[in-house]
Amino acid sequence: MIAGINKPRMVIDKTICLKNIKKMAEKAHRHGLIFRPHFKTHQSAEVGNWFRDFGVESITVSSVTMASYFAKHSWKDILVAFPVNILELDDINRLASEIKLSLLLESEETFKFLSNKLQHPCNFYIKIDTGYHRTGLDASNTKIISSILFKSQHDPMLSFKGFLVHSGNTYDAKSKQEIGQIHLQSIRKLQALKEEFIHAFPGLLLSIGDTPSCSIMEDFSGIDEIRPGNFVFYDVMQNELGSCHPDEIASAVLCPVVAKHMERNEIVIYGGAVHLSKDFVLNSKGEAMYGLISLLFKNNSWSRPLEETFIRKLSQEHGIIRTNKETYDRIHIGNLLAVLPVHSCLVSDLLIRESIIWD
């Protein structure tokens, strides 16, 4: 079963993935939402294809490069949910000639640039900041929003599609309740914008994106579209946030054990920052955890995460697992362990091209 795996390899449990996709697709359907999943998490044509059986036709990506990749794999309706990089104008024009392309704008300057330079029609969303303060126009900044929108009414190339938010601040929430507060505050601000502009732009959509809100919440009042990505694999961070159950984590990195240090109950794996990324979560003692550890079963699956066992440190190729005496004694040099990643999107970016699918 795992014969032939002798260095860090990402594995994807297709059964879990399909369950995750089905659950989110059904939730979108139940709430009457357009489901435009974010494909930055997996960046894989094969995983992407799994979404088609659930009726998905429109997708989200985070770069023009990714849009080109998925366009080549027959996706025809793609939103690049990243502030337009005007240096990629040529690629944007090429894509816009091939597919239904949606762009993300947050400044008059970029609007003007595109208005002058686009050769094929595009849709655009306006990125709204409802509290995350990463990108976007503040929801209260209706002066610039109006200015862009009313210019677009006379623009043959740029059609306004809606307001888009990514409440990434849910990732800093301490509880599900706090995620709920962030989500509700965010959708209230979006609703106010919709109310203000719906008469002039009757088809405008409200689009939200973060996996914690999309996983946990049931109130999507006024929202028209969801764009979660991470839910396809979930990970330790989402588990910590309460967005998923450990059994819903659908990807892991298999890593060989190369050394053991009895005096400190530590196990060294071949599996480091170049495989797992340096993202971490803090455990209840305030210690950084760079991954949880599961045992492998012979039927191509992994156990629940082992108690009191986590990666405490990563170097370029090394992972240092701290565990308890009992688990320490069960694990031997030459074993393969399954690392449940802290952030599956970054692991996919590093490893998906040589990953293995278990189905």
Interacting residues with a copy of itself (CB under 8 A): 5-7, 40, 62-65, 82-88, 91, 106-107, 109-110, 113, 133-135, 138, 168, 256, 258-261, 263-264, 268, 270, 273-274, 277-279, 313, 315-318, 320, 333-334, 336, 345-346, 349
262: burial class by Cβ within 10 Å (0-12, 13-18, 19+)? exposed
Q: Give me the residue label for tokens 């998905």.
A: 56
Q: How far is the CB of 358 from a copy of itself (least distance, A)?
A: 19
Instruction: Measure the CA–CA gap between 154 and 232, rounded to whole angstroms.
Output: 40
Tell me how far, at minimum, the Cβ of 258 lies from a copy of itself, in Å.
Answer: 4
Nearest CB to a copy of itself, comparing residues 224 and 279: 279
Supply the minimum distance, in Å, between the C-beta of residue 319 and a copy of itself: 10
Q: How far apart are the first and last CA of the chain?
A: 12
Q: Which of 271, 251, 265, 241 is nearest to 335 (CA)?
A: 271
CB of 247 to a copy of itself, least distance (A): 25
Which of residues 33 and 104 has its CB atom nearest to a copy of itself in the complex? 104
Q: What is the Cα–Cα distance from 213 to 77, expressed in whole angstroms?
A: 24
CB atoms within 10 A of CB 225: 22
Which residue's CB is nearer to a copy of itself, number 87 or number 174? Answer: 87
| The dihedral sign for the CA sequence 166, 130, 105, 76 | positive
Cα gap 29→44, rounded to integer Å: 24
> For residues 57 and 36, is the Cβ–Cβ distance under 8 A?
no
Report the nearest approach of a copy of itself to the CB of residue 274 (Å). 5
Least distance between a copy of itself and beta carbon 273 (Å): 6
- Nearer to a copy of itself (CB atom), residue 187 or residue 314: 314
CB atoms within 10 A of CB 314: 23
> Whose Cβ is closer to a copy of itself: residue 49's or residue 85's?
85
Closest to a copy of itself by CB, 34 or 346? 346
3-state class (DSSP) for residue 287: coil
Q: How far is the CB of 270 from a copy of itself (least distance, A)?
A: 5
322 near 264, Cβ under 8 Å?
Answer: yes
